[in-house]
Amino acid sequence: MNKTIINRLLVNRNNNHLFKRTYSSVGNKIPRDPKYAVINSKDIDYFRSILKDPNQILTDKDDVDPFNCDWMKKFKGNSQLVVKPKTTEQVSKILSYCNEKKIAVVPQGGNTGLVGGSVPVHDEIILSLANMSKVESFDPITGVVTVQAGCILENIENYLVPLGYTVPIDLGAKGSCQIGGNASTNAGGIRLLRYGSLHGSILGVEAVLADGTVLDCLSTLRKDNTGYDLKQLFIGSEGTLGVITKLSFITPPKPTSVNVALFSCHSFDRVQQVLIRAKKQLGDILSAFEFMDRPCIDLVLKHQAGTREPFDDSTPFYVLMETSGFNEVHDGEKLSSFLESIMGDELIVDGSVATDSKNMTSFWKLRETITESLGKEGATYKYDLSLPIDQFYQLVAVMREKLDGKALVYGFGHVGDGNLHLNISTPNQSYSKDMLDMIEPFVYEYTSKHRGSISAEHGIGAMKSQHLHFSKSDPAIHLMKSIKHAMDPNNILNPYKVLPQ
């Protein structure tokens, strides 16, 4: 087994170089609903009166612009105002006023979302949670942490690690995304395989409803069967049902023995065989099982300084696997026998195990910088799908054939969770309607036909609201609309998103 050393990259907080080509010229923007008020100087005076600190209100174009544009520089709105409350009470007053005046509002966390949900479609005001970033409490007996929604995920991790705990979610955007944004998108990431979805980890939510009502469901109880589990409505609803201001969640003890391995495989079938063995033989110490195809490796090697070819021979598929436990000897033995089994049966072509943190970060860099590297190539059409495992890579091959060299097709993702990230890139080109028409609705139809999901983890946002029917039945969409209407009758919260118009 060889070992390589590369430095880990944390996502740059200012990804201004990425995706310079905006989508608005290609996407069919939903027209502005005239029922919404256009903000005026009286509204701004009101917000000043409740927020007090002048830094909590941005009106200058240069200050507002970064909040108008998403991480990919693909979706761009035209808001004239950003408000940055510091307390739940301030959020409540803002929403109560907006509801009365019919002013539309976009809640914004770290603005790392990949479906255009965090930026305005038109001139909705932006409610940024960035000033609500305190860890409120931690219970060392239950491991439950209570935080304000604007806490950056990595900062919570840094708070927990000295206490011997860790966050149950990890993703490439950890340096910028906020826990409120993670909850609102029900973000998945690389630890979902081990710790499950946020629907399970989150125990309590404090949210402000569209009319300013503060809904205190901030339980820290593991078990609470008192009627409808209302907090779940806010998890994954992308800011359309309320603004999350605080939440509590279970944190697992930080594993003390971690191994990261990289494998290369000849076929996707072998990747699946390795996954089955990993689940059976590693059991509860398996904490991540990620896959990327060869074009992804080439892309990262091209764009990320300090990366290098992992193995002597190039193969079509790569797996990044992590184990985490608490007993180095026991975990090491389990890993060794697993490695012997997959090598003995020639399921892998080559492999390398990193046991020190430098090597581990180098392996993770190959996986976690794919998104950023794609951004450096040009316009990228991103699809985040759940597919049955037998169809998982098939779609990548189908798209390559269909596009016939007119675009580059990349496949990677959380194969352990059945989540494919299908990315179609057109280097040095702008987003084009012709290209979009070659991809959509085909990709969604294919996914629907195989009973997959058109959004495994990124959400629906502005990008897929008109395609929701590919994954939800008419009665389900009808019920979603009824819930939305009951909670936000004036539809001021994140309009034009998630639900089809």
Q: Which is nearer to ligand FAD, 108 or 264 (CB)?
A: 108
244 three-class SS: strand
194 binds ligand MLT (CB under 6 A): no
191 binds ligand MLT (CB under 6 A): no
The CB-of-227 to ligand FAD minimum distance in angstroms stands at 23
- Judged by CB under 6 A, which of 171, 193, 319, 347 binds ligand FAD? 171
- Judged by CB under 6 A, which of 143, 181, 325, 411 binds ligand FAD? 181
238 binds ligand MLT (CB under 6 A): no
- Judged by CB under 6 A, which of 56, 68, 80, 111 binds ligand FAD? 111
Q: Which is nearer to ligand FAD, 173 or 215 (CB)?
A: 173
Quickly count: other Cβ atoms within 10 Å of residue 161's Cβ. Answer: 12
Of 222-230, 235-243, 294-302, 438-446, the segment contacting ligand FAD by CB under 6 A is 235-243
Footprint on residues 51-80 left by ligand FAD (CB under 6 A): 71
371 binds ligand MLT (CB under 6 A): yes
Quickly count: other Cβ atoms within 10 Å of residue 238's Cβ. Answer: 25
Q: Which is nearer to ligand MLT, 72 or 233 (CB)?
A: 72
421 binds ligand MLT (CB under 6 A): yes
End-to-end alpha carbon distance in the chain:
55
**CA-CA distance, 155 to 178, in Å (whole number)?**
9
Q: Which is nearer to ligand FAD, 26 or 106 (CB)?
A: 106
The CB-of-121 to ligand MLT minimum distance in angstroms stands at 22
- Judged by CB under 6 A, which of 107, 116, 120, 172 binds ligand MLT? 172
Here's the x/- map for ligand FAD, 434-463, by CB under 6 A: it reads as -----------------------xx--x--
Beta bridge partners of 144: 139, 250
Give Cα separations from 385 to 113, 126, 478 (angstroms). Answer: 16, 29, 23
Q: Are strands 105-108 and 82-83 parallel, antiparallel or unpaired?
A: unpaired
H or E element, residue 361: helix 357-368
Q: What is residue 240's DSSP assignment? A: S
421 binds, among ligand FAD, ligand MLT, none (CB under 5 to 8 A by kind): ligand MLT
416 binds, among ligand MLT, ligand FAD, none (CB under 5 to 8 A by kind): none
The CB-of-384 to ligand MLT minimum distance in angstroms stands at 6
**CA-CA distance, 366 to 300, in Å (whole number)?**
6
177 three-class SS: coil
Residues 48/210, Cβ–Cβ less than 8 Å: no
Quickly count: other Cβ atoms within 10 Å of residue 344's Cβ. Answer: 8
Helices (H), ranges, 225-327: 231-234, 268-282, 294-303
The residue with its CB nearest to ligand MLT is: 371
Tokens of 59: 């009106």
Helices (H), ranges, 137-267: 153-160, 179-185, 192-195, 198-201, 231-234
Residues 373/300, Cβ–Cβ less than 8 Å: yes
109 binds ligand FAD (CB under 6 A): yes
- Judged by CB under 6 A, which of 113, 143, 236, 378 binds ligand FAD? 113
**Which positions ≥6 away from 167 have C-beta within 8 Å?**
153, 156, 157, 160, 251
Give Cα separations from 440 to 19, 27, 216 (angstroms). Answer: 20, 11, 41
State the number of binding residues for ligand MLT (CB under 6 A). 5
- Judged by CB under 6 A, which of 39, 187, 258, 299 binds ligand FAD? 187
Of 77-85, 138-146, 236-244, 282-290, the segment contacting ligand FAD by CB under 6 A is 236-244
- Of 392, 440, 493, 442, the residue nearest 99 (C-alpha): 493
172 three-class SS: coil
359 binds, among ligand FAD, ligand MLT, none (CB under 5 to 8 A by kind): none
- Judged by CB under 6 A, which of 238, 290, 322, 331 binds ligand FAD? 238
Residues at the site binding ligand FAD, with contacts judged by CB under 6 A: 11, 71, 106-114, 117-118, 129, 149, 171-173, 177-178, 180-182, 184-185, 187-189, 238-239, 243-244, 371-372, 457-458, 461, 494
Residues at the site binding ligand MLT, with contacts judged by CB under 6 A: 172, 371, 382, 384, 421
